[in-house]
């Protein structure tokens, strides 16, 4: 493996960590969901300004600068921004109203399984193995979201009728489940527009659109105040600068060198980092690591296997290998 590929893989690993650890930052904010989304999106858009300037300067030096198609950029940015707002609002609402950050990370990661299924609407082929992954993911999602029946892992209790009858689905978990579906739509939109326009500019436009919509929603349904925003400043800056600005830039640079399959697998580790970050954060700040319960551990295991298996490279058919 070349040094550039190793560096690209490292960038993707760092990006996955930043995305995953942001779930903890989201849980620690004291502002409303819309206010939080607006603030972090404005920060993300601002952070990308110098990135775009540096990239443009570099391209002009190399003679590869191409003037962006403004109409296509705006169209793609608006559509992606609307989808990103809806997904972000659902995710933030779920976390604000009670979904554990680690659990939210794994549920959101279901987009890796959902995207190819939605691709069927566009007549894209879905491998048979992927349906097995979907089944594993659904089982994992059930165990991860259902609470109240088991506090410690026990195979006997796991399959008892009393435990299953006592399980409940929290409304906050439903928000994050729907969020995963909307994120899948967002990814399909990015897949359509990213090859046609500058991806960093597209990201900035979508952040601005998300920020504007979230600002309107915050003014209508919340009572945002500068005092609360400042109080949540660390969380907002972490999400806006590192998760939106830095992580996106690292991904854009890394995927020029990294193998696409390896890149997908590394990015899917976001959910694993979400759980590990939540455990570490609460262990350090409160002395209570808030470990997942028995059902949740099993759900995490099912979903991790489903996510990783869905990204594993397929063997090429013999006739393809000789082409």
Tens digits of per-residue pLDDT, 129-140?
A: 778 887 887 787
Q: Which of 19-28, 41-50, 119-128 has the lowest mean pLDDT?
A: 119-128
Inside any domain, residue 322: no
The length of the chain is 323
Inside any domain, residue 204: yes
Inside any domain, residue 292: yes
Range of the domain at 29: 3-311
Dihedral pair phi/psi, residue 168, rounded to 5°: -135, 150
Q: What stretches of the chain adopt beta strand conformation (E)?
A: 146-147, 168-169
Under the banding of pLDDT at 50, 70 and 90, the label for residue 282 is confident
d(CA 57, CA 52): 8
pLDDT at residue 114, as a whole number: 83
To which residue do tokens 């600002």 refer? 215
Question: Which helix (H) or strand (E) covers residue 84, if one does?
Answer: helix 70-96
pLDDT, tens only, 4-24: 778 877 888 898 899 888 878
Name the nearest CA neighbour of 25 among 34, 36, 14.
36
**Mean pLDDT score of the chain:** 81
Inside any domain, residue 191: yes
Under the banding of pLDDT at 50, 70 and 90, the label for residue 42 is very high
Mean pLDDT score, 282-311: 77
Dihedral pair phi/psi, residue 302, rounded to 5°: -60, -45
Under the banding of pLDDT at 50, 70 and 90, the label for residue 230 is very high
Q: Is there a contact between 297 and 146 (Cβ–Cβ < 8 Å)? A: no
Number of domains in the chain: 1
Residues with Cβ within 8 Å of residue 181, at least 6 apart in sequence: 111, 114
- Angle (CA) 57-59-62 rounded to 5° is 115
Inside any domain, residue 90: yes
Mean pLDDT score, 84-107: 84
Inside any domain, residue 320: no
Mean pLDDT score, 269-277: 79
Residue 29's alpha-carbon distances to 23, 97, 144, 224, 260, in angstroms, are: 10, 12, 24, 13, 35
Inside any domain, residue 230: yes
Under the banding of pLDDT at 50, 70 and 90, the label for residue 148 is low
């Amino acid at each position: 493996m070349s040094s550039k590929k190793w560096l690209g893989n490292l960038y993707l690993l760092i990006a996955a960590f930043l995305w995953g650890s942001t779930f903890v930052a989201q849980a620690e904010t004291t502002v409303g969901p819309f206010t939080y989304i607006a603030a972090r999106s404005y920060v993300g858009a601002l952070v990308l300004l110098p990135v775009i300037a540096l990239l443009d300067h570099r391209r002009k030096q190399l003679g590869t600068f191409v003037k962006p198609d403004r109409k296509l950029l705006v169209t793609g940015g608006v559509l992606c921004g609307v989808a990103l707002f809806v997904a972000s609002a659902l995710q933030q609402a779920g976390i604000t109203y009670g979904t554990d950050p680690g659990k939210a990370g794994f549920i959101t990661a279901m987009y890796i399984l959902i995207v190819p299924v939605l691709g069927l609407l566009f007549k894209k082929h879905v491998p048979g193995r992927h349906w097995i992954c979907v089944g594993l993911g659904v089982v994992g999602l059930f165990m991860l979201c259902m609470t109240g029946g088991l506090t410690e892992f026990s195979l006997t209790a796991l399959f008892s009728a009393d435990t299953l009858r006592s399980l409940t689905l929290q409304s906050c978990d439903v928000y994050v489940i729907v969020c995963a579906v909307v994120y899948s739509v967002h990814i399909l939109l990015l897949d359509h527009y990213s090859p046609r326009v500058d991806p960093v500019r597209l990201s900035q436009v979508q952040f601005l659109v998300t920020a504007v919509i979230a600002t309107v929603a915050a003014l209508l349904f919340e009572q945002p105040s500068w005092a609360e925003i400042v109080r949540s400043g660390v969380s907002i800056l972490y999400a806006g600068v590192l998760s939106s600005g830095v992580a996106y830039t690292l991904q854009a640079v890394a995927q020029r060198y990294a193998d696409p399959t390896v890149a997908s697998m590394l990015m899917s580790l976001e959910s694993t980092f979400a759980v590990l970050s939540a455990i570490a954060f609460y262990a350090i700040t409160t002395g209570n690591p808030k470990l997942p319960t028995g059902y949740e551990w099993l759900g995490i295991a099912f979903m991790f296997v489903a996510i990783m298996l869905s990204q594993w490279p397929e063997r090429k058919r013999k006739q393809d290998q000789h082409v």
